[in-house]
Structure 1
Amino acid sequence: MKTPAPSSRSLRDLRRLTPARVGLGRAGASLPTDALLDFTLDHARARDAVHAAFDAAGIRSSLRELGLDVFEVASRARGRKDYLRRPDLGRMLDQASQHLLAGHKAGPCQLAVVVGDGLSPTAVNAHAVHVVESLVPRLAADGIAIGQALVATGARVALGDEIGAIIGARMIVMLIGERPGLSAPDSLGAYLTFAPGPGLTDAERNCVSNIHGAGLGYDEAAFRIAWLVREGLARGLTGVALKDESGGPRPRPVITNATSCDKSET
């Protein structure tokens, strides 16, 4: 008895499973008009995301409504052109920000959260506050408080290293706009670094990425970030030595009335 051949799946079935551009077809030697127009539109959205205005004041106000003390800082990149052409400038605080943080240093804190514009201010404007809102109660359930929150303009991921060193944070969570893609111009990433300080490499960080409407949801992202924060603080490390073993099914929302943060150091 012959085994029946598996049913073939069409390219249309494959396109339902991924936003990637597959099986676009062709018109002569070129793409069909619809596929070309879709590509052009997504490319324009990605470019717009890179150059979008960063709503630092609005994010700062929203974080304060969550009960967090918030400072605004900036990198040495003096504009978007500097930021894109000189990545090194986005990894260093300007002098005014250094003096601001040094002058308001209130002693070591367990955890600090930095919200930076990164390569997609659109992503940060849309998602960062929602992630923090979902993250706060999950951290509180583990007895972890956000001791300091900062909003950083012209930020690269490594800017959190200098910030953490100045304010004395044991761990930094950097929420930052990821490089826009043609299917996700508004993707947010979270980078976690234990014992932040100048000179660290990406091998010493953990990342929770692809936080956006069609990607990782706010609650699941907060669940994974909170797990990494708890385990990172307990083990005294982040990076390649800390694997995300949170596992399990999609987490249920945490419901709490607590919005204020205890700044005590444990």
Structure 2
Amino acid sequence: MIPSIELDQFVDRVMAELEKKLGSPDVSVTTESANSNAVTHSATDSGVVTIKVPQPRWEEGLAELIESTPARIGVWRTGTRPLTKEMLKFRCDHAAAIDSIYGEVNEKLLEQFGLFTVDTCYENTENYLRRPDMGRIITERGMDLIRESCKAKPQVQIVVSDGLSANAIDANLPDVYPSLLDSLTAYGLKVGTPFFVKGGRVAVMDHIGELLQPDVFVLLIGERPGLVSSKSMSAYLCYQPRKGTVESDRTVISNIHPGGTPPVEAGAYIGTLVHKMLEQKTSGIHLDL
């Protein structure tokens, strides 16, 4: 397990150690130090933006661009290479993305919310990445457990899956799930038996839909991690998902994480969408929002 420390703090510690060991800096280190110190701050309507590019020709425009996206904009360089600190941050974010894909959801979190686990036919992570179709089918043992443990034909069926980011479930489920339950309760809606699917893909909701036949299905699943966030979750909703359901019949809320759609807000909004789906008896592109 990775120690509980923010990646930015980790990079700062590494940089501090490098500066100690380098002692008498050579030309490249001197250049990087000079560039690192050439930081300016530009005021915008929503706050102050840090600009790492020394003496930019259009400071206001660069500030607006940096503020508009979490992507790596204007990180600057030393000669033809990135700054050491920026390269370290890049590698940390890349490592976090890999860990999310190959990681596992915390068992204590699943126990906290009373979620039992079933597997898809994915077999292992390497096969899961190569064969998306196998993540859409529950194993025979899993199907038996679902039939034994779950209420049939529920009004709302909630399923959680690691998908492509176990980290997203660990980071967001503690806020999303209670908020979703509160929202559904406020609308007077009844929830079936929630559970966790290991190695799931979005269309696994169709297979489970055939087994349990819910009115509305809610799938909380880890998104494909990127270099901005490895903790992004999506919520896929569908009215009466069954075999043959097409993607345009699903409604999705993506980028659920502290830097995107706030988890608590997402949970409440999912409940509102479920209510509308039951009222209109549809989902996806046919749902009137």
What band does the TM-score fall into relative to the shorter chain?
0.7 to 0.9
- 2:142 aligned residue: 97
Match of 1:96, as an amino acid? R
SS in 1 for 2:286: coil
Amino-acid identity (%): 34
Higher helix share: 2
- 2:5 aligned residue: none
Kept in 2: contact 1:210–1:216 (CA 8 A): yes
For the pair 1:47 / 2:98, whether they are aligned, the reply is yes
Between the aligned partners of 2:170 and 2:219, the Cα distance in structure 1 is 14
Kept in 1: contact 2:182–2:268 (CA 8 A): no
Between the aligned partners of 1:129 and 1:158, the Cα distance in structure 2 is 24
Gaps of 5+ in 2: 1-57
- 1:77 aligned residue: 122
- What is the aligned counterpart of 2:82 among 19, 27, 31? 31
Moved over 6 A (4+): none
Kept in 1: contact 2:135–2:204 (CA 8 A): yes
- 2:171 aligned residue: 126
SS in 1 for 2:202: coil
Structure 1 residues 37, 12: closer, same or farther in 2, change over 3 A?
Answer: farther
Kept in 1: contact 2:151–2:192 (CA 8 A): no
Q: CA deviation at 1:225?
A: 0.6
TM-score relative to the length of structure 1 = 0.81
For the pair 1:62 / 2:107, whether they are aligned, the reply is no
Match of 2:254, as an amino acid? S
- 2:198 aligned residue: 153
Between the aligned partners of 1:127 and 1:8, the Cα distance in structure 2 is 36
- 2:226 aligned residue: 181
SS in 2 for 1:169: coil
Larger RCO (CA under 8 A, 6+ residues apart): 1
For the pair 1:170 / 2:170, whether they are aligned, the reply is no
Match of 2:89, as an amino acid? D
Gaps of 5+ in 1: 1-6, 65-69, 246-266
Between the aligned partners of 1:107 and 1:158, the Cα distance in structure 2 is 19
Match of 1:168, as an amino acid? Q
Q: Which has the larger radius of gyration?
A: 2
Structure 1 residues 124, 105: closer, same or farther in 2, change over 3 A?
Answer: closer
SS in 2 for 1:226: helix
SS in 1 for 2:82: coil
- 1:3 aligned residue: none
